[in-house]
Amino acid sequence: MQGVLFPDRWFIHLGHHKTGTTWMQQVLFTKEHGFCILNNHKEPWKDALLRALVLGDGFEPSRLRAMALERWDGKGIPVLSAERLSGHPVSGGFDQEIIAERIRTAFPEAIVLIGTRDAEEAKSSVYKQLVREGFLGKDLQTLEATNWKVPQMRETYFQHALLLQHYRSLFPGEQVVELPYAQLSQSPQLWVAAMEKAYGESFSFELSQRHKSRVHASWSDRRTRVQRVANYFEKSPLNPYPLIHLNKRFAQFIGEVAVLFGA
């Protein structure tokens, strides 16, 4: 976009996982509301800009800024939104600080939005999501401290205030906005008001009750138990080497039978 300057006020939304990220991407950050999402939020692992921030692939601040400008439509408020920017629960958020440093280095002017949630609620919701993705564990209990060869789940990942505090040590306080998940169910407009305050002006929309609906409803405990057993027989990123690779329908049948017998 030759001759056009990138806005000096815009948003980077980090998640955490299961704090309303999908709702933000599909309901709030729309063209209708005057936003322009800069990244591929449906398949974020394929997005070069996100990979540079998360993995360091080709990380060069001037390159990332040029990519952001190229993706901007020149009209809406730019938004970068990906919960992986807050780390990942499976690896205990081990890379949170290096990601934060890359964001600060490349985009020091951005307003950072951080979703927070009660730790026990977050753990329950994350667990069900991970089972949907192939996780085999019965819970999210951390492994023994002696197992330090690879990153593991850590209790601190669910202490969302820690990441909030870290970003406030890197950015001016007014550029870091907490979005408590409890407010989303109460009134999404509370999130909008917090964003408007940080942005310095009002947006041209107001959310109504129709915007309050949940995008991804959590599975029931029973369905989660069935899927956890089925995961032993289905290939996934969290279980690349199943005991026996069965088709999904048969794996689900085994799960149903196992739950009947107390699995």
Give the contacts of 263 (CB within 8 A, at least 6 positions apart). Answer: 225, 228, 229, 255
CA gap 261, 33 in Å, rounded:
50
Q: How many CA atoms lie within 13 A of 234 on its CB side?
A: 24
Place of tokens 């958020």: 93
Burial of 219 (0-12, 13-18, 19+ CB in 10 A): middle
In three-state secondary structure terms, 82 is: coil
Tens-of-pLDDT digits for all 263 residues of the chain? Answer: 566 789 999 999 999 999 999 999 999 999 999 999 999 999 999 999 999 999 999 999 999 999 999 999 999 999 999 999 999 998 999 999 999 999 999 999 999 999 999 999 999 999 999 999 999 988 887 555 566 777 888 889 999 999 999 999 999 999 999 999 999 888 899 999 999 999 999 998 888 766 766 656 778 999 999 999 999 999 998 999 998 999 999 999 999 999 998 88
Domains of the chain, start order: 11-212 (3.40.50.300), 221-260 (no CATH)
- State CA 69 to chain mean position distance: 23
For the whole model, what pTM was predicted? 0.91
What is the DSSP annotation of 146-170?
T--SS----GGGG-HHHHHHHHHHH
Q: What is the H or E stretch that residue 11 is in?
A: strand 11-13
CA gap 180, 118 in Å, rounded:
9
CA gap 28, 202 in Å, rounded:
15
Q: Return the closest-CA partner of residue 256 out of 231, 230, 219.
A: 230
